């Protein structure tokens, strides 16, 4: 299934900047960055549960925002991209 993860982390403190880096790193481990704070993650149910648990453990609800968009398994027709920073499809080979 495709899940889009979006976050907004308060960076007014050193702790917030550290949280931002940790959240970005976790997202990078599970998906592709498509915007500064937006990741597309092609996950199975176990990976999804792991990612969600890790992100909820990192963010601070009083200061940060974390959103998950569930695109399902037939998302290809629902995503349209224009401009720079095209991201490879999740099923594309990593090496040519």
Mean pLDDT of 83-91: 62
Please provide the average confidence, as pLDDT, over all residues in the chain.
85
pLDDT in tens, 43-54: 999 999 999 999
- Of the candidates 2, 72, 74, the one whose C-alpha atom is nearest the C-alpha of residue 34 is 2
- The pLDDT tens digits for 3-40 are 999 999 999 999 999 999 999 999 999 998 988 999 99
Q: What's the pLDDT at 1?
A: 86
Average pLDDT over residues 75-95: 58
Q: Which of 65, 36, 48 is nearest to 3 (CA)?
A: 48
């Amino acid at each position: 299934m495709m899940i889009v993860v979006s976050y907004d982390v308060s960076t007014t403190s050193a702790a917030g900047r550290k949280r931002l880096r940790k959240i970005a790193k976790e997202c990078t481990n599970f998906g592709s960055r498509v915007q500064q704070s937006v990741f597309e993650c092609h996950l199975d149910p176990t990976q999804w549960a792991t990612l969600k648990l890790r992100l909820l453990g990192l963010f601070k609800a009083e200061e940060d925002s974390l959103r998950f968009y569930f695109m399902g398994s037939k998302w290809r027709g629902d995503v349209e991209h224009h401009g720079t920073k095209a991201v490879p499809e999740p099923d594309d080979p990593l090496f040519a």
